[in-house]
Amino acid sequence: MDTKYDVIIVGGGVLGTFHAYHAKQKGLKVAILEKDQFPQGATVRNFGQVVPSGMNTKWQNFGRESLEIYKDIQSKFDISIRQNGSVYLASNYEEATLIEELSEINKANQYNSKLLTKGQCLTNYSGLRSDYVQAGLFFPEEVTVEPLTMINKLHAFLKSEGMDIFFKSKVVTCEEVNGEVKLRTSTNEIFMTSKVIICNGSDFQTLYPKMFAESDLVVSKLQMMSTKPQANYTLKGSVLTGLSIRRYEAFEECKSYKEIKAKEDKGALEKKWGVHILFKQAMDGSVIIGDSHEYADAANMDDLGFDLNMDIDNFIIQEAKKIMGLPNYEIQHRWFGMYSQCKTSDIYQNTIGENIHIVTGIGGKGMTGSAGFSKHNINTIFNF
């Protein structure tokens, strides 16, 4: 290939694409190589919410920067961003205590949130059951996305800005040659670049199988579903409930968290399957309900299976009905997503030689944190 790039990103998911976006913002010549016709991994198989509120302080800062980046792009090109806020619904005194404590933490962090009374929650969220909710914490700056379409629209925007994106381009070799990096695809195309950033776990496994097998990456399998479109019904933003309050890392910074967690039934099904109940209405009027978390080491991810566990789905629906009285719970679509994360660090990073950077394993923080983190990481890699 005649064209030489300053950086090539391997993997066109949300993490790779935002690395490409920020590299281009710095004036670099950038290309994305995506192995499939369009991204098919966790980027399009997630819940579709951008919720810095659920992250610890470090990652909340990345998430808050992500919000600004999403909104800036949306002002120029429709990538399906809707600023409709997120709410955490407490179902008992302990969860209400945690959201009050998180509210104080966010005041100190200067992140806008608002405590809601039970009555305000019932008024704002149609169908919410009075016997479930006790209080809420609302984050007005947060947004939702349509995960099945967002990344494709983001690619269209970047192409309109002059970025090269090559689909069906699976990289099979990656090696440094005379201070540059030479990439070869399965169709024998050659790409030359000053640096490469590998942002896809599958590509990492293909190119460096031994390093991948020895990494501390684990894979999480999440099950979600969507109802048929809800007639004459509107649900605003992301609705996260009591089990989310008990699970999300932001609440680990609350002073009462450890004591409250210690009282939980460790044999409960929500523990066994990592279930916490979320609701979000998609643009077609359907309501997405989730989700669950099952784990395996990345090298043994096949142990998670390729089928849906209907016991998990039925449990999610059973618990969802205790929270929200939707007009219908007729399920039109069920799916699972898989994402990788590290056991011992926030994200997996490794550098081979001087110019091959592996950045993957962002876990469930991908849709929320990738835009902000990638800006920081591009600055670090290129010493901006």
Check pLDDT > 60 for residue 14.
yes
Q: According to the model, what pLDDT value does residue 2 have?
A: 62
- 42, two tokens: 């966790």
- Mean pLDDT value across residues 138-143: 98
Cβ contacts of 383 within 8 Å, gap of 6 or more: none
Q: What is the mean pLDDT of the chain?
A: 95
Q: State the pLDDT at residue 300.
A: 84
CATH 3.50.50.60 fits 1-83+142-215+345-384, yes or no: yes
DSSP assignment letter at 108: H
pLDDT digits 0-9 by tens, 143-177: 999 998 999 999 999 999 999 999 999 999 999 99
Per-position DSSP letters for 125-145, written without gaps between them: STTB-TTT-SEEEEETT-EE-
Angle at 301 between CA 289 and CA 145, to 5 degrees: 30
pLDDT at 368 over 70: yes
Statement: residue 1 has pLDDT above 60 = no
Would the pLDDT of 41 be above 90? no
Q: What is the mean pLDDT of residues 363-381?
A: 96
Question: Which tokens is 307 given?
Answer: 């089928």
pTM given for the model: 0.95
Q: Residue 153, SS3?
A: helix
User: What pLDDT, on a 0 to 100 scale, did the predictor assign at position 305?
Assistant: 87
Both tokens assigned to 220 = 């999480």
pLDDT greater than 90 at residue 40:
no
For residue 298, is pLDDT > 90? no
56 close to 253: Cβ distance less than 8 angstroms: yes
Separation CA 153–CA 136 (nearest Å): 33
- Report which of residues 186 and 1 the model is more confident about: 186
pLDDT recorded at residue 38: 87
Contact between 278 and 289 under an 8 Å Cβ cutoff? The reply is: yes
216 token code pair: 């501390």
Peptide bond into 291 cis (omega under 30): yes
∠ at Cα 74 (72, 35), nearest 5°? 105
- 76-87 average pLDDT score: 97
d(CA 333, CA 294): 20
Q: Is the pLDDT of residue 371 over 70?
A: yes
pLDDT above 90 covers a percentage of the chain that reads 90
CA distances from 30 to 7, 99, 349, 362 (A): 5, 43, 20, 22
How would residue 273 be classed by pLDDT, with cut points 50, 70 and 90?
very high
